[in-house]
Protein backbone atom coordinates (compact mmCIF):
# COMPACT_ATOMS: atom_id res chain seq x y z
CA UNK A 1 0.00 0.00 0.00
CA UNK A 2 3.00 2.29 0.42
CA UNK A 3 2.97 4.88 -2.35
CA UNK A 4 5.60 7.20 -3.80
CA UNK A 5 5.43 10.83 -2.82
CA UNK A 6 5.10 13.62 -5.34
CA UNK A 7 6.74 16.91 -4.53
CA UNK A 8 6.12 20.23 -6.16
CA UNK A 9 8.20 23.18 -5.02
CA UNK A 10 5.83 25.48 -6.88
CA UNK A 11 2.12 24.85 -6.40
CA UNK A 12 0.86 27.66 -8.57
CA UNK A 13 -0.84 30.97 -7.84
CA UNK A 14 -4.27 29.41 -7.30
CA UNK A 15 -2.99 27.29 -4.38
CA UNK A 16 -1.10 30.21 -2.86
CA UNK A 17 -4.23 32.36 -3.16
CA UNK A 18 -6.26 29.59 -1.52
CA UNK A 19 -3.92 29.51 1.48
CA UNK A 20 -4.07 33.27 1.84
CA UNK A 21 -7.87 33.04 1.83
CA UNK A 22 -7.66 30.25 4.41
CA UNK A 23 -5.67 32.52 6.69
CA UNK A 24 -8.16 35.37 6.28
CA UNK A 25 -11.05 32.98 6.87
CA UNK A 26 -9.43 31.73 10.08
CA UNK A 27 -8.98 35.29 11.33
CA UNK A 28 -12.62 35.99 10.55
CA UNK A 29 -13.68 32.95 12.58
CA UNK A 30 -11.47 33.99 15.50
CA UNK A 31 -12.89 37.51 15.35
CA UNK A 32 -16.42 36.12 15.31
CA UNK A 33 -15.60 34.16 18.46
CA UNK A 34 -14.29 37.35 20.07
CA UNK A 35 -10.80 35.89 20.42
CA UNK A 36 -8.87 38.74 18.77
CA UNK A 37 -9.48 40.98 21.76
CA UNK A 38 -5.97 42.34 22.23
CA UNK A 39 -2.79 43.02 20.29
CA UNK A 40 -1.10 40.06 21.97
CA UNK A 41 -4.01 37.76 21.04
CA UNK A 42 -3.76 38.91 17.42
CA UNK A 43 0.00 38.32 17.24
CA UNK A 44 -0.18 34.90 18.89
CA UNK A 45 -3.07 33.90 16.64
CA UNK A 46 -1.21 35.00 13.51
CA UNK A 47 1.85 32.99 14.52
CA UNK A 48 -0.13 29.84 15.31
CA UNK A 49 -2.20 30.14 12.14
CA UNK A 50 0.96 30.47 10.07
CA UNK A 51 2.41 27.31 11.63
CA UNK A 52 -0.86 25.36 11.23
CA UNK A 53 -1.22 26.32 7.57
CA UNK A 54 2.50 25.86 6.87
CA UNK A 55 2.30 22.25 8.07
CA UNK A 56 -0.63 21.68 5.74
CA UNK A 57 1.18 23.44 2.88
CA UNK A 58 4.15 21.08 3.11
CA UNK A 59 2.09 17.88 2.99
CA UNK A 60 -0.49 19.03 0.45
CA UNK A 61 1.30 17.19 -2.38
CA UNK A 62 1.47 13.82 -0.60
CA UNK A 63 -0.42 10.97 -2.19
CA UNK A 64 -2.51 8.46 -0.31
CA UNK A 65 -3.95 5.10 -1.27
CA UNK A 66 -7.51 6.43 -1.07
CA UNK A 67 -6.72 9.32 -3.38
CA UNK A 68 -4.90 7.17 -5.92
CA UNK A 69 -7.51 4.44 -6.18
CA UNK A 70 -10.76 6.19 -5.31
CA UNK A 71 -10.92 9.98 -5.21
CA UNK A 72 -8.84 10.60 -8.34
CA UNK A 73 -10.86 7.97 -10.20
CA UNK A 74 -14.13 9.60 -9.17
CA UNK A 75 -12.97 13.03 -10.35
CA UNK A 76 -11.77 11.48 -13.61
CA UNK A 77 -15.20 9.89 -14.05
CA UNK A 78 -16.90 13.28 -13.80
CA UNK A 79 -14.29 14.94 -16.00
CA UNK A 80 -14.66 12.30 -18.72
CA UNK A 81 -18.46 12.37 -18.62
CA UNK A 82 -19.23 16.06 -18.71
CA UNK A 83 -18.94 17.07 -15.04
CA UNK A 84 -22.42 17.49 -13.59
CA UNK A 85 -23.88 15.66 -16.57
CA UNK A 86 -22.41 12.46 -15.07
CA UNK A 87 -25.06 12.60 -12.32
CA UNK A 88 -27.50 11.09 -14.82
CA UNK A 89 -26.14 7.66 -13.86
CA UNK A 90 -25.02 6.07 -10.61
CA UNK A 91 -21.26 5.59 -10.41
CA UNK A 92 -21.24 2.18 -8.76
CA UNK A 93 -17.74 2.29 -7.26
CA UNK A 94 -18.41 5.58 -5.46
CA UNK A 95 -19.67 5.19 -1.88
CA UNK A 96 -19.95 8.91 -1.01
CA UNK A 97 -23.28 10.69 -0.96
CA UNK A 98 -24.17 13.38 -3.48
CA UNK A 99 -23.23 16.43 -1.40
CA UNK A 100 -19.52 15.59 -1.61
CA UNK A 101 -19.91 14.49 -5.22
CA UNK A 102 -21.24 17.94 -6.11
CA UNK A 103 -17.84 19.29 -5.15
CA UNK A 104 -15.90 16.59 -7.03
CA UNK A 105 -17.99 17.28 -10.12
CA UNK A 106 -17.29 20.99 -9.77
CA UNK A 107 -13.51 20.68 -9.60
CA UNK A 108 -13.59 18.22 -12.51
CA UNK A 109 -14.76 21.14 -14.66
CA UNK A 110 -12.00 23.50 -13.51
CA UNK A 111 -8.36 23.73 -14.68
CA UNK A 112 -6.98 22.88 -11.23
CA UNK A 113 -5.07 20.02 -9.66
CA UNK A 114 -7.78 17.87 -8.13
CA UNK A 115 -5.46 16.50 -5.41
CA UNK A 116 -4.84 19.98 -4.03
CA UNK A 117 -8.42 21.14 -4.20
CA UNK A 118 -9.83 17.98 -2.65
CA UNK A 119 -7.51 18.58 0.30
CA UNK A 120 -8.14 22.34 0.40
CA UNK A 121 -11.87 21.74 0.70
CA UNK A 122 -11.27 19.63 3.80
CA UNK A 123 -8.75 22.13 5.20
CA UNK A 124 -11.44 24.82 5.05
CA UNK A 125 -13.45 22.60 7.36
CA UNK A 126 -10.44 22.03 9.62
CA UNK A 127 -10.90 25.72 10.43
CA UNK A 128 -14.66 25.34 10.78
CA UNK A 129 -14.01 22.36 13.08
CA UNK A 130 -11.76 24.45 15.33
CA UNK A 131 -14.38 27.20 15.34
CA UNK A 132 -17.18 24.74 16.18
CA UNK A 133 -15.20 23.12 19.01
CA UNK A 134 -14.36 26.50 20.53
CA UNK A 135 -17.95 27.66 20.15
CA UNK A 136 -19.31 24.52 21.80
CA UNK A 137 -16.79 24.85 24.63
CA UNK A 138 -17.90 28.46 25.06
CA UNK A 139 -21.24 27.21 26.39
CA UNK A 140 -19.37 25.88 29.44
CA UNK A 141 -16.10 27.85 29.53
CA UNK A 142 -16.60 31.37 28.14
CA UNK A 143 -13.09 32.60 28.98
CA UNK A 144 -11.34 33.80 25.83
CA UNK A 145 -7.93 32.15 26.58
CA UNK A 146 -9.62 28.78 27.10
CA UNK A 147 -11.61 28.97 23.87
CA UNK A 148 -8.55 30.21 21.99
CA UNK A 149 -6.55 27.25 23.28
CA UNK A 150 -9.32 24.89 22.17
CA UNK A 151 -9.39 26.47 18.69
CA UNK A 152 -5.68 26.04 18.07
CA UNK A 153 -5.28 22.67 19.78
CA UNK A 154 -8.01 21.36 17.49
CA UNK A 155 -6.11 22.67 14.47
CA UNK A 156 -2.94 20.97 15.68
CA UNK A 157 -4.44 17.57 16.51
CA UNK A 158 -2.35 15.07 14.49
CA UNK A 159 -5.45 13.16 13.37
CA UNK A 160 -7.02 16.39 12.05
CA UNK A 161 -3.87 17.37 10.14
CA UNK A 162 -3.30 13.92 8.65
CA UNK A 163 -6.93 13.27 7.79
CA UNK A 164 -7.40 16.32 5.57
CA UNK A 165 -3.96 17.39 4.38
CA UNK A 166 -2.27 14.03 3.89
CA UNK A 167 -5.02 11.45 3.51
CA UNK A 168 -7.37 13.70 1.47
CA UNK A 169 -10.33 12.57 3.57
CA UNK A 170 -13.39 14.65 4.43
CA UNK A 171 -14.11 13.74 8.05
CA UNK A 172 -13.50 17.32 9.17
CA UNK A 173 -16.50 18.34 7.07
CA UNK A 174 -19.19 16.20 8.63
CA UNK A 175 -17.79 16.43 12.18
CA UNK A 176 -17.44 20.22 12.09
CA UNK A 177 -21.02 20.58 10.87
CA UNK A 178 -22.33 18.17 13.52
CA UNK A 179 -20.51 19.93 16.38
CA UNK A 180 -21.55 23.35 15.07
CA UNK A 181 -25.13 22.08 14.89
CA UNK A 182 -25.04 21.09 18.56
CA UNK A 183 -23.59 24.47 19.54
CA UNK A 184 -26.28 26.28 17.57
CA UNK A 185 -28.95 24.16 19.20
CA UNK A 186 -27.69 25.14 22.65
CA UNK A 187 -27.73 28.77 21.51
CA UNK A 188 -31.46 28.54 20.70
CA UNK A 189 -30.95 28.61 16.93
CA UNK A 190 -32.94 25.49 16.03
CA UNK A 191 -33.33 25.97 12.27
CA UNK A 192 -29.61 26.55 11.71
CA UNK A 193 -28.85 23.64 14.03
CA UNK A 194 -31.05 21.27 12.02
CA UNK A 195 -29.52 22.51 8.77
CA UNK A 196 -26.02 21.76 10.07
CA UNK A 197 -26.78 18.24 11.26
CA UNK A 198 -28.59 17.46 8.00
CA UNK A 199 -25.64 18.66 5.93
CA UNK A 200 -23.33 16.63 8.18
CA UNK A 201 -25.44 13.52 7.55
CA UNK A 202 -25.44 14.23 3.81
CA UNK A 203 -21.64 14.15 3.82
CA UNK A 204 -21.12 11.03 5.93
CA UNK A 205 -23.39 8.43 7.50
CA UNK A 206 -21.22 8.52 10.64
CA UNK A 207 -23.02 11.74 11.64
CA UNK A 208 -25.53 9.34 13.23
CA UNK A 209 -23.07 8.95 16.13
CA UNK A 210 -24.13 12.45 17.25
CA UNK A 211 -27.77 12.38 16.16
CA UNK A 212 -29.02 11.19 19.60
CA UNK A 213 -27.91 14.56 20.98
CA UNK A 214 -30.89 16.09 19.19
CA UNK A 215 -33.26 14.08 21.36
CA UNK A 216 -31.59 15.72 24.36
CA UNK A 217 -31.89 19.17 22.82
CA UNK A 218 -35.61 18.47 22.41
CA UNK A 219 -35.92 17.31 26.04
CA UNK A 220 -34.06 20.43 27.16
CA UNK A 221 -36.50 22.67 25.31
CA UNK A 222 -33.94 23.88 22.79
CA UNK A 223 -35.80 22.28 19.88
CA UNK A 224 -39.46 21.67 19.17
CA UNK A 225 -40.91 18.75 17.21
CA UNK A 226 -41.45 20.96 14.17
CA UNK A 227 -37.72 21.70 14.12
CA UNK A 228 -36.83 17.98 14.14
CA UNK A 229 -39.12 17.54 11.13
CA UNK A 230 -36.85 19.90 9.20
CA UNK A 231 -34.30 17.09 8.92
CA UNK A 232 -36.12 15.18 6.13
CA UNK A 233 -37.05 18.48 4.45
CA UNK A 234 -33.43 19.64 4.29
CA UNK A 235 -32.28 16.14 3.30
CA UNK A 236 -34.60 16.02 0.29
CA UNK A 237 -33.60 19.58 -0.66
CA UNK A 238 -29.91 18.56 -0.78
CA UNK A 239 -30.68 15.53 -2.96
CA UNK A 240 -33.01 17.34 -5.35
CA UNK A 241 -30.30 18.83 -7.64
CA UNK A 242 -28.82 15.37 -8.21
CA UNK A 243 -32.25 13.97 -9.06
CA UNK A 244 -32.95 16.86 -11.43
CA UNK A 245 -29.65 16.11 -13.15
CA UNK A 246 -30.89 12.57 -13.81
CA UNK A 247 -29.82 10.52 -10.79
CA UNK A 248 -32.36 7.77 -9.90
CA UNK A 249 -34.61 9.19 -7.14
CA UNK A 250 -35.01 6.01 -5.08
CA UNK A 251 -31.31 5.14 -5.18
CA UNK A 252 -30.45 8.70 -4.17
CA UNK A 253 -32.94 8.84 -1.32
CA UNK A 254 -31.96 5.43 0.06
CA UNK A 255 -28.25 5.76 -0.71
CA UNK A 256 -26.99 4.84 2.74
CA UNK A 257 -29.20 1.75 2.97
CA UNK A 258 -27.84 0.41 -0.31
CA UNK A 259 -24.19 1.19 0.49
CA UNK A 260 -23.90 -0.04 4.08
CA UNK A 261 -21.46 -2.80 3.14
CA UNK A 262 -19.68 -1.07 0.26
CA UNK A 263 -16.46 -0.63 2.24
CA UNK A 264 -16.25 -4.20 3.50
CA UNK A 265 -18.00 -6.41 6.02
CA UNK A 266 -15.31 -7.32 8.56
CA UNK A 267 -16.31 -6.94 12.20
CA UNK A 268 -13.40 -4.57 12.56
CA UNK A 269 -11.40 -2.75 9.88
CA UNK A 270 -8.41 -1.38 11.81
CA UNK A 271 -10.69 0.49 14.20
CA UNK A 272 -10.16 0.84 17.95
CA UNK A 273 -13.54 -0.75 18.64
CA UNK A 274 -14.32 -3.53 21.06
CA UNK A 275 -13.89 -6.02 18.22
CA UNK A 276 -10.16 -5.35 18.18
CA UNK A 277 -10.16 -6.94 21.63
CA UNK A 278 -12.27 -9.96 20.70
CA UNK A 279 -11.62 -13.02 18.58
CA UNK A 280 -14.87 -14.08 16.96
CA UNK A 281 -15.07 -17.30 14.88
CA UNK A 282 -16.31 -16.67 11.32
CA UNK A 283 -19.46 -18.69 11.91
CA UNK A 284 -20.37 -16.46 14.87
CA UNK A 285 -19.67 -13.10 13.24
CA UNK A 286 -23.27 -12.43 12.17
CA UNK A 287 -24.54 -13.12 15.70
CA UNK A 288 -21.77 -11.03 17.27
CA UNK A 289 -22.59 -8.13 14.97
CA UNK A 290 -26.29 -8.22 15.85
CA UNK A 291 -25.48 -8.49 19.54
CA UNK A 292 -23.13 -5.51 19.39
CA UNK A 293 -25.67 -3.40 17.51
CA UNK A 294 -28.26 -4.33 20.13
CA UNK A 295 -25.91 -3.41 22.98
CA UNK A 296 -25.05 -0.06 21.37
CA UNK A 297 -28.74 0.67 20.86
CA UNK A 298 -29.57 -0.19 24.47
CA UNK A 299 -26.74 1.98 25.78
CA UNK A 300 -27.96 4.95 23.75
CA UNK A 301 -31.50 4.33 24.99
CA UNK A 302 -30.21 4.16 28.56
CA UNK A 303 -28.54 7.56 28.22
CA UNK A 304 -31.69 9.06 26.69
CA UNK A 305 -33.92 7.49 29.35
CA UNK A 306 -31.72 8.80 32.15
CA UNK A 307 -31.90 12.29 30.66
CA UNK A 308 -35.66 12.02 30.28
CA UNK A 309 -36.07 10.98 33.93
CA UNK A 310 -33.78 13.78 35.10
CA UNK A 311 -34.65 16.39 32.50
CA UNK A 312 -35.26 19.02 35.19
CA UNK A 313 -31.61 18.72 36.16
CA UNK A 314 -30.35 18.79 32.58
CA UNK A 315 -28.08 21.67 31.65
CA UNK A 316 -26.03 22.68 28.65
CA UNK A 317 -23.18 20.82 30.32
CA UNK A 318 -25.20 17.58 30.29
CA UNK A 319 -25.80 17.85 26.55
CA UNK A 320 -22.18 18.66 25.69
CA UNK A 321 -20.94 15.75 27.80
CA UNK A 322 -23.54 13.42 26.28
CA UNK A 323 -22.19 14.37 22.85
CA UNK A 324 -18.70 13.40 24.00
CA UNK A 325 -19.99 10.12 25.40
CA UNK A 326 -21.89 9.21 22.22
CA UNK A 327 -18.87 10.00 20.04
CA UNK A 328 -16.77 7.42 21.90
CA UNK A 329 -19.33 4.87 23.03
CA UNK A 330 -21.16 4.25 19.75
CA UNK A 331 -18.17 3.51 17.46
CA UNK A 332 -16.50 1.58 20.29
CA UNK A 333 -19.45 -0.81 20.57
CA UNK A 334 -20.52 -1.19 16.95
CA UNK A 335 -19.25 -3.75 14.42
CA UNK A 336 -17.92 -2.87 10.96
CA UNK A 337 -16.09 0.22 12.21
CA UNK A 338 -13.21 1.68 10.19
CA UNK A 339 -10.03 3.52 11.12
CA UNK A 340 -11.47 7.06 10.86
CA UNK A 341 -14.70 6.54 12.79
CA UNK A 342 -13.30 7.96 16.05
CA UNK A 343 -12.65 11.33 14.41
CA UNK A 344 -15.48 13.07 16.29
CA UNK A 345 -14.26 11.49 19.53
CA UNK A 346 -10.75 12.85 18.93
CA UNK A 347 -12.14 16.39 18.88
CA UNK A 348 -14.85 16.11 21.54
CA UNK A 349 -12.51 14.45 24.04
CA UNK A 350 -10.37 17.57 23.72
CA UNK A 351 -13.43 19.65 24.61
CA UNK A 352 -14.02 17.30 27.56
CA UNK A 353 -10.48 17.90 28.84
CA UNK A 354 -11.26 21.62 29.18
CA UNK A 355 -14.34 21.06 31.34
CA UNK A 356 -13.44 17.95 33.36
CA UNK A 357 -9.91 17.97 34.73
CA UNK A 358 -9.55 14.19 35.29
CA UNK A 359 -10.12 13.73 31.53
CA UNK A 360 -6.99 15.65 30.48
CA UNK A 361 -5.18 12.42 29.43
CA UNK A 362 -8.16 11.18 27.37
CA UNK A 363 -7.51 13.20 24.17
CA UNK A 364 -3.85 12.15 24.31
CA UNK A 365 -4.80 8.48 24.46
CA UNK A 366 -7.36 8.97 21.69
CA UNK A 367 -4.75 10.62 19.46
CA UNK A 368 -2.33 7.75 20.02
CA UNK A 369 -5.04 5.29 19.09
CA UNK A 370 -6.12 7.19 15.96
CA UNK A 371 -2.61 7.96 14.74
CA UNK A 372 -1.70 4.29 15.07
CA UNK A 373 -4.35 3.19 12.58
CA UNK A 374 -3.66 6.25 10.40
CA UNK A 375 -0.09 5.01 10.11
CA UNK A 376 -1.41 1.73 8.80
CA UNK A 377 -3.60 3.44 6.20
CA UNK A 378 -0.93 5.90 5.06
CA UNK A 379 2.31 3.97 5.41
CA UNK A 380 1.21 0.36 5.85
CA UNK A 381 2.64 0.02 9.34
CA UNK A 382 1.35 0.05 12.90
CA UNK A 383 3.05 1.66 15.88
CA UNK A 384 1.48 -0.97 18.13
CA UNK A 385 -1.25 -3.64 17.80
CA UNK A 386 -4.75 -2.33 17.12
CA UNK A 387 -6.11 -3.89 20.31
CA UNK A 388 -3.82 -1.58 22.30
CA UNK A 389 -5.56 1.33 20.58
CA UNK A 390 -8.88 -0.06 21.77
CA UNK A 391 -7.55 -0.17 25.32
CA UNK A 392 -6.49 3.46 24.93
CA UNK A 393 -10.07 4.42 24.05
CA UNK A 394 -11.47 2.93 27.26
CA UNK A 395 -10.28 5.79 29.55
CA UNK A 396 -12.03 8.31 27.30
CA UNK A 397 -15.19 6.21 27.37
CA UNK A 398 -15.19 5.86 31.16
CA UNK A 399 -14.21 9.48 31.84
CA UNK A 400 -16.84 10.86 29.48
CA UNK A 401 -19.45 8.63 31.15
CA UNK A 402 -18.34 9.81 34.61
CA UNK A 403 -18.44 13.46 33.57
CA UNK A 404 -21.87 12.99 32.03
CA UNK A 405 -23.29 11.40 35.20
CA UNK A 406 -21.76 14.12 37.38
CA UNK A 407 -23.48 16.78 35.28
CA UNK A 408 -26.81 15.92 36.94
CA UNK A 409 -25.52 16.85 40.37
CA UNK A 410 -26.53 20.25 41.68
CA UNK A 411 -23.69 22.80 41.63
CA UNK A 412 -21.56 22.96 44.75
CA UNK A 413 -22.44 25.89 47.02
CA UNK A 414 -20.23 28.94 46.78
CA UNK A 415 -18.00 29.00 49.85
CA UNK A 416 -16.74 32.46 49.14
Give, for all 416 residues of the chain, the pLDDT tens digit: 444 454 444 688 999 999 999 999 999 999 999 999 999 999 999 999 999 999 999 999 999 999 999 999 999 999 999 899 888 766 666 788 999 999 999 999 999 999 999 999 999 999 999 999 999 999 999 999 999 999 999 999 999 999 999 999 999 999 999 999 999 999 999 999 999 999 999 999 999 999 999 999 999 999 999 999 999 999 999 999 999 998 889 988 988 887 765 444 579 989 999 999 998 998 999 999 999 999 999 999 999 999 999 999 999 999 999 999 999 999 999 999 999 999 999 999 999 999 999 999 999 999 999 999 999 999 999 999 999 999 999 999 999 999 999 999 876 654 44
CB atoms within 10 A of CB 69: 12
Burial (CB < 10 A; 0-12, 13-18, 19+), residue 344, is buried
Which pTM does this prediction carry? Answer: 0.95
- In whole angstroms, give the CA distance from residue 331 to residue 205: 12
H-assigned helices in 168-278: 171-186, 190-203, 213-219, 225-228, 230-244, 249-253, 255-258
Is residue 203 a contact partner of residue 234, using CB atoms and an 8 Å limit?
no
Q: Tell me the C-alpha to C-alpha distance, in Å, between residue 20 and each of 8, 15, 84, 176, 259.
A: 18, 9, 29, 21, 38
- In whole angstroms, give the CA distance from residue 176 to residue 57: 21
Per-residue confidence (pLDDT) for residue 1, from 0 to 100: 46
Per-residue confidence (pLDDT) for residue 230, from 0 to 100: 97
Partners of 337 in the β-ladder: 268
- In whole angstroms, give the CA distance from residue 232 to residue 389: 37
Is residue 301 a contact partner of residue 288, using CB atoms and an 8 Å limit?
no
Burial (CB < 10 A; 0-12, 13-18, 19+), residue 236, is middle
Q: Tell me the C-alpha to C-alpha distance, in Å, between residue 305 and each of 83, 201, 398, 399, 400.
A: 48, 24, 19, 20, 17
Q: Tell me the C-alpha to C-alpha distance, in Å, between residue 46 and each of 16, 51, 319.
A: 17, 9, 33
DSSP annotation of 88: G
Each residue of 197-235: pLDDT tens digit? 999 999 999 999 999 999 999 999 999 999 999 999 999
- In whole angstroms, give the CA distance from residue 64 to residue 122: 15
Per-residue confidence (pLDDT) for residue 63, from 0 to 100: 92
Among 339, 334, 341, 206, smallest CA distance to 270 is for 339
Cα dihedral across residues 269, 274, 277, 281: positive or negative: negative
Judging by DSSP bridges, how do beta strands 268-269 and 337-338 pair with one another? parallel
φ and ψ at 384, to 5 degrees?
-160, 165
Among 166, 365, 376, 355, smallest CA distance to 269 is for 376
- In whole angstroms, give the CA distance from residue 73 to residue 112: 15
- In whole angstroms, give the CA distance from residue 123 to residue 119: 6
Q: DSSP per residue over 140-162, as a string?
A: T---HHHHHHHHHHHHH-HHHHI
Is residue 60 a contact partner of residue 116, using CB atoms and an 8 Å limit?
yes
Q: Which helix (H) or strand (E) holds 268?
A: strand 268-269
Is residue 71 a contact partner of residue 61, using CB atoms and an 8 Å limit?
no
Contacts of 115 (CB under 8 A, 6+ apart): 60, 61, 63, 67, 72, 168
Per-residue confidence (pLDDT) for residue 320, from 0 to 100: 98
Domain ranges of the chain: 13-406
Amino acid sequence: MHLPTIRFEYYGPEVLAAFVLLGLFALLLLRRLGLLDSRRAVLVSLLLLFIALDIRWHILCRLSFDYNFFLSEWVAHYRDNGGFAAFSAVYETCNYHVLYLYYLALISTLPVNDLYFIKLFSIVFDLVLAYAAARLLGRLRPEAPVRRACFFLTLFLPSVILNSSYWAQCDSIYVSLAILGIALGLEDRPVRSMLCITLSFCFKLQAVFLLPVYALLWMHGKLKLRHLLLFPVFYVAVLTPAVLMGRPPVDTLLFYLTHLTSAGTGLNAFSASVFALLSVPPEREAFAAKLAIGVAFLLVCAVLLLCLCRRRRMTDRTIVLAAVLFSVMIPFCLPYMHDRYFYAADVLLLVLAFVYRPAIPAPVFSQLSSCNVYCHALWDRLLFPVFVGSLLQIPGLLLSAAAFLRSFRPPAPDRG
